[in-house]
Structure 1
Amino acid sequence: MSTFQYYVASTIDGFIASPEDDLGWLLQFDGNDEVNDGIGQFMAGVGCIAMGGDTYRWLMEHEPGKWPYPEIPCWVFTHHEYSAPAESDITYVRGDVREFAPDLARAAKDKNVWLVGGGDLVAQFAEAGLLDEMILTIVPVVLGAGKPLLPLKGPTPPLELVSSRTLGGAAVELRYRLQQSAG
């Protein structure tokens, strides 16, 4: 059975991007082998990706002509019309995340569904009771302002800490399981 996972990096003060969607604060850690190993281990369990339109647009602007997930089906939740890059398996959808969750799980083929990028789409999954795990890598940077980690309308029930580890002396990865109470 597929697990819906939010795998994300955040600053110490809880932002996943600057107000201008800049990720330079995070990309400076790309050379850290232990951080990269963590990403590789995570990706081995991913069977399907769901992302919002803003994240998709950012990828297209910052990785022109190169789709970073050629082997993985990706569902983009958007109200805009796009054409898929070559070598990609992308489905564009509109609507409530509950409507598409069974399709995402089927596309994952018993692997996990990665909820990528911006917190807005992930918040929709969480508020629908469809977010199972949050894997949060806290990076030692403070932005002071930016895109919030998970912009929910209210507090979650307590999260269960499943594991924690230090990555390359630069970051801390925390894995939480969510207790489902939304519906």
Structure 2
Amino acid sequence: MSTFQYYVACTIDGFIASPEDDLGWLLQFDRVEGVNQGIEAFMAGVGCIVMGGDTYRWLMEHEPGQWPYPDTPCWVFTHHEYSAPPGADITFVRGDVREFAPDLLKDAGDKNVWLVGGGDLVAQFANAGLLDEMIVTIVPVVLGAGKRLLPLKGPTAPLELVSHKIIGGAAAELHYRLPKGTV
């Protein structure tokens, strides 16, 4: 059965990007032992990708002319008009995430839906009761301010820790399952 998974890295103080959407704090760890293996293993289970317009814009600015997910359908929730790079399977949508959930699951097939982000979009899935799992890599950096990991309005029920591992001797990957009715 397909699940909605939030796979993301964040700082020790809970931010996924700087206030200016800078990811330099994270990209410095690209060559850390074990980082790429974790992403490759995760991507093998992904059948559909979902992201917000800010994440899409960031990818287009930092990967011009390249689409990093050529073999995976991607849905972008945005209020802006964008075009897709050649060869990319991208659907641009506006509206309530619940409206599109059946289509996302259909695109995922027997794999999972990766909620890339940002945190505001993932919070919409959580508030709709659609967020099943969070796989969060805590990176040993403090930003002090920025885009929050999951900006919910209130506390969740306790999450179930499914697994954990240390990456490169410094980062910690925590895999949580959210109980139904968490938010």
> Are 1:110 and 2:145 counterparts?
no
> Are 1:128 and 1:182, in contact at CA under 8 Å, matched by a contact in 2?
no
Using the alignment, how far apart are the partners of 1:118 and 1:178 within structure 2?
18
SS at match of 1:16: strand
Q: Match of 2:111, as an amino acid? A: K
Q: Does 1:101 align with 2:83?
A: no
**CA offset digits 1:42-74 (Å, max 9, x no partner):** 000000001001110111111110100000000
C-alpha separation in 1, matches of 2:175 and 2:182:
20
Work out the CA distance in 2 between the residues paired with 1:26 and 1:170: 13
Equivalents in 1 of 2:80, 2:35: separation in Å? 33
Matched residue of 2:34: which SS?
helix
Structure 1 residue 33 displacement after superposition? 3.2
Deviations 1:73-127 (A, max 9, x none): 0000011111110120000111000000010000001100000021000000000
Decide whether the 8 Å contact of 2:156 with 2:182 is kept in 1: no
How far did residue 35 of structure 1 move?
Answer: 1.1
* CA distance in structure 2 between the partners assigned to 1:88 and 1:170 by the alignment: 35
Aligned to 2:34: 34
Distance 1:102 1:177 in 2: 20
3-state secondary structure, aligned to 1:138: strand
Q: Which residue of 2 aligns with 1:89?
A: 89
Structure 1: gaps (5+ residues): none
| CA-CA distance at 1:32 after TM superposition | 1.5
Counterpart in the other structure of 2:133:
133
**1:173 aligned partner, one-letter code:** E
Are residues 21 and 140 of structure 1, via their aligned partners in 2, closer, same or farther at CA, if it must alter by over 3 Å? same
Aligned to 2:57: 57
> How far has the Cα of 1:182 moved from its partner?
5.8
CA distance in 2, matches of 1:56, 1:154: 27
1:161 match? 161
**Would you say the 8 A contact 2:157–2:182 is kept in 1?**
no
Q: What residue identity is the alignment partner of 2:113?
A: V
Q: Which structure 2 residue ranges, 5 or more long, are not aligned?
A: none
Q: Residues of 2 paired with 1:182 and 1:17: CA distance?
A: 25
> Aligned equivalents of 1:117 and 1:104: distance in 2?
15
CA distance in 1 between partners of 2:133 and 2:83 (Å)? 31
Superimposed CA distance per residue, residues 111-147 of structure 1 (whole angstroms, 9 cap, x where no aligned partner): 0000002100000000000000000000000011110
Question: Where has structure 1 moved over 2 Å in runs of 4 or more?
Answer: none
On the 8 A contact 2:7/2:136 being kept in 1, the answer is: yes
Give the TM-score taking structure 1 as reference length: 0.98
Q: How many residues are aligned here?
A: 183
Residues 1:140 and 1:182: Cα distance change in structure 2 (over 3 Å): closer
Identity %: 81
RMSD over aligned Cα atoms: 1.0
